[in-house]
Chain A
Amino acid sequence: MKLFLRLLFRNRLAGFGAVVLGAIVVLAVLTPVLPLHAPNETNTANRFLRPFAEGHLLGTDHLGRDLLSRLMWGTRLSLAVGFAAALVAGLAGAAIGVIAGYFGGRTDNVTMRGVDMLMAFPYILLALAIVAVLGPGLLNALIAVAVVNIPFFARNIRGITVGIAHREFIDAARLAGMGHTRILLTEVVPNVVPVVVIAMSTTIGWMILETAGLSFLGLGSQPPQADLGSMLGEARSALITAPHTSIVPGVMILLIVMSVNLLGDGIRDALDPRLRSGALARPMAATRVERKTVPAPEGEGLLRIDGLETQFHIGARVYKAVNKVSLDLKPGECLGLIGESGSGKSVTALSVMGLVASPPGVITGGAVRLNGQDLIGAPYEVLRALRGRKVAYIFQDPLSTLHPLYRIGDQLIEAIRVHEPVSRAQAHERAIKLLEDVRIPNARARARAFPHELSGGMRQRVGIAMAMANDPDIIIADEPTTALDVTVQAQILALLDDLRRSRGLAILFITHDFGVVGQLCDRVAVMYGGRIVETGPTAEVLEAPAHPYTRRLIACVPELGGGRRVLAAIPGLPPAVDDLPQGCAFAPRCDKAQDACRKGEIALTGAARQVRCLYPEVAP
């Protein structure tokens, strides 16, 4: 609750709304004891006095009645009516919703059909019909507004009740022999009340507006009694000669409704865990860069990553997802980057082209050089021109990574046309050719398919075709086979290997599967806790892992035809990268860890084979 209030008032607008609304409510409550003129005391000699006239702070209306007094009494009435309408609609709607949701079946069906019917009306038609029957009058307007809003509550509450009605504690209550009424009152209703209250608090503003509207039309409060709406309605005929009589009640309605809305938004936001965690932030076009120094290039290479540091800044916390990672990729080479989930391998890959979601991602150090050109901090247009043309990506889950509403042919055509000024027809032919290259049967027809109409394997072939569209030098494949079943996985790997050999592609292959690395990669780099812990030629690393972590990771892979063997899972969990231990990050899970492992930096040592370990399994 305290947290909720703090969050609410951190939102300055919501705080403003709360203060304004509070002030208005207090004044409305105090109206009878304030030293005001009687609201209905007419004095036709003093008609249409301007504001600040003597004795009449806001002036007078067409009958010489004091506007300030009428405003306060009108506000009081409008607030009361709005609140009452919200209460009636909320309670009636909740009752219908709870009953429909709890009993389900035919009760639910019939009730909700009725509610749907009511929702088929534009709301005011229904309200007008009700007022037509009951006759004009404030109470009737209140009833009309309440009835019109019942469906909204009924629907919301039904949804929530259906969720509750199938929970274990309801079954338990039923098994304990409790009757429906008792279960409803003791188990269901208490769980629904908070939702009803929140929905009511956010709709009060709306109710006030609607009743004011009906009164404005002359269908609500009848003279001499006036709420804010009928004050406006009466003032309309004198709009041009005495505008203040319209402005005063109008501004009051605006203030009330706005403060209710601000407060309602604030409440909703403060209760939404997604907003609290910043998960609704939009990622920018390129990852934010805050780099102080640029490391010198450590050598040649098609792609060189030097001392890359990528972090996630969430609130006050800093997650060091990638911590001084250096890698290099030669033309035509396939480098495997392997590690558990959360080891930083995907973030490393995405950092290359500035695709790490930002906020919260920030690249805080290092360099990524493509043919010697540093990409970190490069202008957006430079980066964009290289994306897909020189460095292309293949992502993990092709269902979520392909646009669901574009035909796959169009997605391929777009990939071609953003980098080459070819006609649509030419691009279309090339797209078909690409689909054939990745061995999609019947490519011409499939180009018209939407992603959801293809199988997982076919979709990933489309993903590969899209990556190949501009004949890139490098493909970064981020677990491209993880979401696929094993036979399809083998086909996709074979396809990638073929393409790589026939086109001289360099591949950075990210995976958590040593089996896949063994099939495809020339070299492998092992990541743990955001750092490289071992690199070397694939065969050597697989044959004789130097880092204890690599050894244990390989031991986790079952081998077909390898005979019976104990599969040793690694105990414990990967480290949280916002709170890395001193020294070796793997030390807490390592069976060979000594005291020295837990102190100070451990360097990556060796040449062709490098390892970051004080007590390696084999000398690098």
Chain B
Amino acid sequence: MGGYILKRLLSAVPVLLGITVIVFLIMAMIPGDPATAILGSYATPENVERLNRHLGLDEPLWRQYFIWLGNLLQGDFGRSFALNRPVLDEILDRFSATLILAGTAFVLCSLLGILAGVVSAARQYGLADKAITFVVILGISVPSFFLGMMMILLFAVQLRWLPVSGMYSIWGGGDLPDLIRHLTMPAFALSVVATGVIARLSRGAMLEVLRQDFIRTARAKGVHERRVIWGHALRAAMVSIIPVLGIQAGFVLSGAVYIEMVFQWPGVGRMLVDAILKRDILLVQGGVVFVAACYVGFNIVVDVAQSWLDPRIRT
């Protein structure tokens, strides 16, 4: 098991390098002169040239990459010109908010999705199955940002149950109940699409497994049907559900960008969108690399969970 984890960690190194190369190349394609972009079109040529030298932009491309990579490895993501603070500080501040939002949504969609999928498969063609299938279709078709807006209208404006937006109340907030009240709507809106996808795949995986011979064996042993479904069948189905969870985590992270905009959530997604609109390139670059690296790390966790669950791939 330890060997497997180590192997998996090592295999992530080229992926991470690839990510930095891709991001670097994309950013290098920016038309025009970055220094001009930073300083604005009224900058004097001397200033532009000085900044270019300062940023190492007069070096050849491959040297620029390695300088940038070296800085990244030392935790220096550069400085955001719009915010005038180190990129990494800003990212770390924002990332915890995104992590709370996306993490909650991810737990929510995993639990609800698997639950709905299993119930749906266990009652195939029954009323519950039809109802779940319908809700799932609706769920995977609704744009999360639209759903979020409608939830604000209903729960915050009409019913006044929950706060409209933000992460904490401006006055007197800041404790956990306050956070939960603010988190409920965005986390739910963010989880809906992934819940639908996971429910749908779980249903398929369960139906596949329920036809297997070892399910018949469990029944022949006299194992109770509830345990056949939630124990034997679900355990085997998890082998194909877990990778889907890994993929969906990426979609939850992506969807967080919209949800953060709708609910004014102070996360990385909103930071990135603002940075793009302000053409704060270093912040975009750093944010993308950072979040992508976190996602790669999460996928390693998923793979390890998978190997723990399925002894056949451990060897």
- Contact B292 A120, beta carbon cutoff 8 Å: yes
Contact with B along A395-431 (1 / 0, CB 8 A): 1010011111110000000110011000000000000
Please measure, in the bound complex, the distance between the C-alpha atom of A389 and the C-alpha atom of B309, giving whole angstroms.
Answer: 30
Which B residues between 274 and 291 are near A, CB-CB below 8 angstroms?
275-277, 279, 281, 284-285, 288, 291
Chain A residues with Cβ below 8 Å from B157 are: 240
Q: Given A219-B273, A247-B150, A406-B235: A388 and B222 within 8 A (CB)? A: yes
Cβ 8 A contact of A121, one of B210, B212, B221, B292: B292
- Contact A124 B254, beta carbon cutoff 8 Å: yes
Q: Given A403-B232, A405-B309: A387 and B273 within 8 A (CB)? A: no
Chain B residues with Cβ below 8 Å from A217 are: 257-258, 261, 273
Q: How far is the CB of A124 from chain B (nearest CB, A)?
A: 4
Q: How far is the CB of A8 from chain B (nearest CB, A)?
A: 16
Q: Given A213-B143, A243-B153: A123 and B250 within 8 A (CB)? A: yes
Chain B residues with Cβ below 8 Å from A414 are: 221, 223
Please measure, in the bound complex, the distance between the C-alpha atom of A406 and the C-alpha atom of B138, giving whole angstroms.
Answer: 37
Cβ 8 A contact of A209, one of B143, B225, B273, B285: B143
The reply on B169 being an interface residue by CB < 8 A is no
Q: How many A-B residue pairs have CB under 8 A?
A: 225
Please measure, in the bound complex, the distance between the C-alpha atom of A350 and the C-alpha atom of B262, giving whole angstroms.
Answer: 57
Question: Which single residue of chain B is at the shortest CB-CB distance from A259?
Answer: B141
Stretch at the interface among A68-76, A126-134, A153-161, A579-587: A126-134
Please measure, in the bound complex, the distance between the C-alpha atom of A89 and the C-alpha atom of B39, giving whole angstroms.
Answer: 36
Chain A residues with Cβ below 8 Å from B312 are: 404, 450, 452
- Contact B27 A133, beta carbon cutoff 8 Å: yes
Please measure, in the bound complex, the distance between the C-alpha atom of A403 and the C-alpha atom of B232, giving whole angstroms.
Answer: 7
- Contact A415 B235, beta carbon cutoff 8 Å: no
Chain B residues with Cβ below 8 Å from A243 are: 153
Chain B residues with Cβ below 8 Å from A133 are: 26-27, 29-30
Chain B residues with Cβ below 8 Å from A397 are: 213
Please measure, in the bound complex, the distance between the C-alpha atom of A518 and the C-alpha atom of B295, giving whole angstroms.
Answer: 63
Question: Which single residue of chain A is at the shortest CB-CB distance from B15?
Answer: A120
Stretch at the interface among B2-10, B17-25, B71-79: B17-25
The reply on A281 being an interface residue by CB < 8 A is yes
Q: Given A123-B251, A254-B141, A384-B225: A129 and B217 within 8 A (CB)? A: no
- Contact B273 A218, beta carbon cutoff 8 Å: yes
- Contact A122 B250, beta carbon cutoff 8 Å: yes
Chain B residues with Cβ below 8 Å from A131 are: 276
- Contact A122 B295, beta carbon cutoff 8 Å: yes
Q: How far is the CB of A264 from chain B (nearest CB, A)?
A: 11
Chain A residues with Cβ below 8 Å from B236 are: 403-405
Q: Given A128-B284, A250-B149, A355-B220: A120 and B295 within 8 A (CB)? A: yes
Q: Given A216-B145, A395-B217, A403-B236: A386 and B222 within 8 A (CB)? A: yes
The reply on B85 being an interface residue by CB < 8 A is no
Q: How far is the CB of B273 from chain A (nearest CB, A)?
A: 5
Chain A residues with Cβ below 8 Å from B228 are: 285
Cβ 8 A contact of A219, one of B121, B142, B276: B276
- Contact A253 B225, beta carbon cutoff 8 Å: no
The reply on A302 being an interface residue by CB < 8 A is no
The reply on A435 being an interface residue by CB < 8 A is no
Chain A residues with Cβ below 8 Å from B241 are: none
Stretch at the interface among A94-102, A110-118, A522-530, A558-566: A110-118
Q: How far is the CB of B41 from chain A (nearest CB, A)?
A: 15
Please measure, in the bound complex, the distance between the C-alpha atom of A469 and the C-alpha atom of B250, giving whole angstroms.
Answer: 46
Q: Interface size for chain B: under 10, 10 to 19, 20 to 34, or 35 or more residues?
A: 35 or more
Chain B residues with Cβ below 8 Å from A114 are: 18
The reply on B214 being an interface residue by CB < 8 A is yes
Please measure, in the bound complex, the distance between the C-alpha atom of A133 and the C-alpha atom of B24, giving whole angstroms.
Answer: 11
Cβ 8 A contact of B258, one of A116, A130, A213, A357: A213
Question: Which single residue of chain B is at the shortest CB-CB distance from A252?
Answer: B146
- Contact A393 B220, beta carbon cutoff 8 Å: yes
Chain A residues with Cβ below 8 Å from B277 are: 136, 218-219
Please measure, in the bound complex, the distance between the C-alpha atom of A243 and the C-alpha atom of B152, giving whole angstroms.
Answer: 11
Contact with A along B180-217 (1 / 0, CB 8 A): 00000000000000000000000000111011111111
Q: How far is the CB of B152 from chain A (nearest CB, A)?
A: 6
Question: Which single residue of chain B is at the shortest CB-CB distance from A114?
Answer: B18
The reply on A322 being an interface residue by CB < 8 A is no
- Contact B220 A213, beta carbon cutoff 8 Å: no
Cβ 8 A contact of B276, one of A136, A247, A386, A389: A136
Q: Given A128-B272, A243-B153, A418-B223: A254 and B310 within 8 A (CB)? A: no
Q: How far is the CB of A227 from chain B (nearest CB, A)?
A: 12
Which of B212, B224, B235, B254 is most buried by chain A, counting CB atoms within 10 A of its CB?
A: B254
Please measure, in the bound complex, the distance between the C-alpha atom of A430 and the C-alpha atom of B227, giving whole angstroms.
Answer: 22
Please measure, in the bound complex, the distance between the C-alpha atom of A93 and the C-alpha atom of B213, giving whole angstroms.
Answer: 39
Chain A residues with Cβ below 8 Å from B251 are: 122-123
Please measure, in the bound complex, the distance between the C-alpha atom of A281 and the C-alpha atom of B279, giving whole angstroms.
Answer: 54
Contact with B along A231-246 (1 / 0, CB 8 A): 0100010011001001
Q: Given A217-B257, A236-B262, A403-B232: A257 and B220 within 8 A (CB)? A: no
The reply on A262 being an interface residue by CB < 8 A is yes
The reply on B160 being an interface residue by CB < 8 A is no
- Contact B224 A384, beta carbon cutoff 8 Å: yes
The reply on A176 being an interface residue by CB < 8 A is no
The reply on A385 being an interface residue by CB < 8 A is yes
Please measure, in the bound complex, the distance between the C-alpha atom of A380 and the C-alpha atom of B228, giving whole angstroms.
Answer: 14
Q: Given A355-B220, A401-B216, A403-B218: A128 and B207 within 8 A (CB)? A: no
- Contact B149 A232, beta carbon cutoff 8 Å: yes
The reply on B253 being an interface residue by CB < 8 A is yes
Q: How far is the CB of B269 from chain A (nearest CB, A)?
A: 8
Chain A residues with Cβ below 8 Å from B164 are: 240
Please measure, in the bound complex, the distance between the C-alpha atom of A219 and the C-alpha atom of B213, giving whole angstroms.
Answer: 52
Chain A residues with Cβ below 8 Å from B143 are: 209, 212-213, 216, 232, 250, 253-254, 257
- Contact B292 A125, beta carbon cutoff 8 Å: yes
Question: Which single residue of chain A is at the shortest CB-CB distance from B214?
Answer: A403
Which of A285, A384, A405, A452 is most buried by chain B, counting CB atoms within 10 A of its CB?
A: A405
- Contact A392 B220, beta carbon cutoff 8 Å: yes
Q: How far is the CB of B267 from chain A (nearest CB, A)?
A: 13
- Contact B225 A380, beta carbon cutoff 8 Å: yes
- Contact B149 A205, beta carbon cutoff 8 Å: no
Q: Given A120-B295, A466-B221: A125 and B138 within 8 A (CB)? A: no
The reply on B172 being an interface residue by CB < 8 A is no
Cβ 8 A contact of B219, one of A13, A122, A129, A355: A355
The reply on B128 being an interface residue by CB < 8 A is no
Please measure, in the bound complex, the distance between the C-alpha atom of A418 and the C-alpha atom of B292, giving whole angstroms.
Answer: 47
Question: Which single residue of chain A is at the shortest CB-CB distance from B144?
Answer: A213
Chain A residues with Cβ below 8 Å from B216 are: 283, 350, 355, 357, 395, 401
The reply on B140 being an interface residue by CB < 8 A is yes
Please measure, in the bound complex, the distance between the C-alpha atom of A246 and the C-alpha atom of B150, giving whole angstroms.
Answer: 9
23 contacts across the A-B interface (CB closer than 8 A): A13-B137, A124-B253, A124-B257, A124-B269, A126-B288, A128-B276, A130-B26, A209-B143, A240-B153, A247-B150, A258-B137, A265-B137, A280-B207, A282-B206, A282-B211, A357-B211, A384-B225, A387-B219, A387-B221, A400-B212, A401-B213, A405-B236, A450-B311
Closest 8 CB pairs of A and B: A124-B254, A250-B146, A258-B141, A117-B18, A388-B222, A387-B222, A122-B250, A285-B225
Question: Which of B's residues lie within 8 Å of A, judged by CB?
Answer: 15, 18-19, 21-23, 26-27, 29-30, 121-122, 124, 137-138, 140-143, 145-146, 149-150, 152-153, 157, 164, 206-208, 210-225, 227-228, 232, 235-236, 239, 250-251, 253-255, 257-258, 261-262, 269, 272-273, 275-277, 279, 281, 284-285, 288, 291-292, 295-296, 299, 309-312
Question: Which of A's residues lie within 8 Å of B, judged by CB?
Answer: 13, 113-114, 116-118, 120-126, 128-133, 136, 205, 209, 212-213, 216-219, 232, 236, 239-240, 243, 246-247, 250, 253-254, 257-258, 261-262, 265, 279-283, 285, 350, 353, 355, 357, 380, 384-389, 392-393, 395, 397, 400-406, 414-415, 418-419, 450, 452, 466, 469
| Other 4 A-B pairs with CB < 8 A, given A240-B152, A243-B153 | A120-B19, A126-B22, A232-B146, A261-B140
